[in-house]
């Protein structure tokens, strides 16, 4: 696959201002990087390998086989069932995020093939309310898992989320149970589920569907955990150890199957799906 072609389209996310930032500073090595070079390199710092966040659309382009993706997300739209208001009404916030991302909520997904294997692929959008999971994210993922089960597809999620969405309160919490239980539809049909954790994957997303992949992959350096580092620091009243809650740490702690560089992600994912999906020769002779 020609990875270079992935980024031909200009990124539309990034919001209101239209001043073109041609250069970026890498937060890890502080190198000045020409933005187009970064994009051509899958948003990975060419100097040090630091993985920048990547838009949901580009993730899909990276992982789905060319021209195979058909979006299914977007049919349901969020509502402010609790009339939640903090410094701004939830309804207003929703509209702002929708304008900014062009999505109805923090998830983007649909059907595709990956390395030839039929799949449902869902990517969380961190730009929409920190990728938080409310009713719509839960419903989209559930429908995705159900569709995968009924059509014999593998299920793949890419998480990038601060956790459950506070503004939907108990309804957000329930999405943890809902998405987790939806995975059993795949289980019944012996279809594989691969969970990919990108930076960050925390809270109620890690503690539900994201942790439960038959195979769980993570990108290098991603922040992954249940409680956020700030909360933990408050609890224990001391600084956190270097590298704590990063992918590499969690790999050592036995929580991840592999930490995979973005450049290798498609190939690794495709290989796993081919091994675990019936059409990839799983039951072949």
Which tokens sit at 49?
């390998």
Residues 84-103 that bind other proteins (CB under 8 A): 84-87
Q: From Zn ion, other proteins, none, which one binds at residue 66 (CB under 5 to 8 Å depending on kind)?
A: none
We find the least distance from the C-beta atom of residue 31 to Zn ion, in angstroms, to be 5
- Which residues lie below 8 Å from residue 170, measured CB to CB, with a gap of 6+? none
Nearest Cα neighbor of 118 from 274, 6, 260, 265 is: 274
Residues 86-105 that bind Zn ion (CB under 5 A): none
DSSP 149-196: HHHT-EEEEEEEE-SB-GGGHHHHHHHHHHHHHHHHHHHHTT--EEEE
Per CB under 5 A, the segment of 26-34, 55-63, 99-107, 112-120 that binds Zn ion is: 26-34
We find the least distance from the C-beta atom of residue 40 to Zn ion, in angstroms, to be 15
Applying CB under 5 A, does 48 fall inside the site for Zn ion? Answer: yes
Q: From other proteins, Zn ion, none, which one binds at residue 50 (CB under 5 to 8 Å depending on kind)?
A: Zn ion
Q: From other proteins, Zn ion, none, which one binds at residue 47 (CB under 5 to 8 Å depending on kind)?
A: Zn ion
Among 115, 138, 144, 200, binds other proteins (CB under 8 A): 138
Let me know: does 117 contact 277? Beta carbons within 8 Å: yes
Q: From other proteins, Zn ion, none, which one binds at residue 26 (CB under 5 to 8 Å depending on kind)?
A: Zn ion
Applying CB under 8 A, does 261 fall inside the site for other proteins? Answer: no
Count CB atoms within 10 A of the CB of residue 33.
Answer: 19
Nearest Cα neighbor of 108 from 171, 66, 170, 62 is: 62
Applying CB under 8 A, does 254 fall inside the site for other proteins? Answer: yes
We find the least distance from the C-beta atom of residue 37 to Zn ion, in angstroms, to be 12
Per CB under 8 A, the segment of 13-21, 36-44, 120-128, 159-167 that binds other proteins is: 159-167
CA angle, 168 then 171 then 176, to 5°: 115
Applying CB under 5 A, does 42 fall inside the site for Zn ion? Answer: no
Count CB atoms within 10 A of the CB of residue 248.
Answer: 14
Among 40, 174, 220, 279, binds other proteins (CB under 8 A): 174
State which H helix or E strand residue 119 sits in: strand 117-124
- Cα–Cα distance for residue pair 191/268, rounded to 1 Å: 18
Count CB atoms within 10 A of the CB of residue 188.
Answer: 8
The mark string for 191-230 relative to other proteins (x by CB under 8 A, - otherwise) is -x---------xxx-xxxxxxx-xx--------xxxx---
Among 118, 131, 144, 280, binds other proteins (CB under 8 A): 280
- Cα–Cα distance for residue pair 5/62, rounded to 1 Å: 10
Let me know: does 179 contact 209? Beta carbons within 8 Å: yes
Among 50, 69, 155, 209, binds Zn ion (CB under 5 A): 50
Binding site residues, Zn ion, CB under 5 A: 26, 28-29, 31, 45, 47-48, 50
């Amino acid at each position: 696959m020609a990875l270079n072609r992935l980024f031909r389209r200009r990124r539309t996310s990034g919001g209101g201002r239209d001043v073109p930032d041609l250069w970026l500073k890498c937060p890890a090595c502080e190198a000045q990087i020409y933005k187009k070079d970064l994009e051509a390199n899958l948003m990975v710092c060419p100097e040090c390998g630091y993985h920048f966040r990547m838009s949901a659309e580009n993730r899909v382009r990276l992982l789905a086989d060319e021209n195979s993706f058909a979006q299914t997300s977007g049919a349901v739209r969020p509502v402010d069932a609790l009339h939640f208001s903090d410094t701004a009404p939830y309804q207003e916030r929703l509209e702002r995020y929708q304008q900014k991302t062009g999505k109805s909520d923090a998830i983007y997904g649909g059907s595709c093939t990956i390395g030839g294997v039929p799949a449902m692929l869902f990517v969380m959008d961190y730009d929409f309310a920190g990728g938080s999971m409310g009713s719509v994210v839960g419903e989209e993922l559930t429908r995705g898992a159900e569709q995968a089960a009924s059509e014999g597809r593998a299920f793949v999620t890419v998480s990038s989320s601060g956790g459950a969405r506070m503004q939907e309160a108990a309804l957000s919490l329930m999405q943890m149970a809902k998405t987790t239980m939806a995975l059993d539809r795949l289980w019944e049909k012996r279809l594989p589920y691969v969970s990919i954790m990108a930076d960050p994957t925390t809270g109620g997303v890690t503690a539900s569907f994201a942790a439960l992949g038959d195979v769980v992959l993570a990108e290098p350096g991603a922040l992954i955990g249940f409680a956020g580092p700030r909360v933990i620091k408050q609890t224990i009243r001391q600084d956190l150890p270097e590298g704590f809650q990063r992918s590499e740490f969690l790999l050592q702690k036995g929580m991840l199957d592999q930490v995979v560089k973005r450049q290798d992600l498609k190939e690794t994912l495709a290989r796993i799906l081919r091994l675990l999906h019936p059409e990839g020769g799983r039951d072949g002779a």
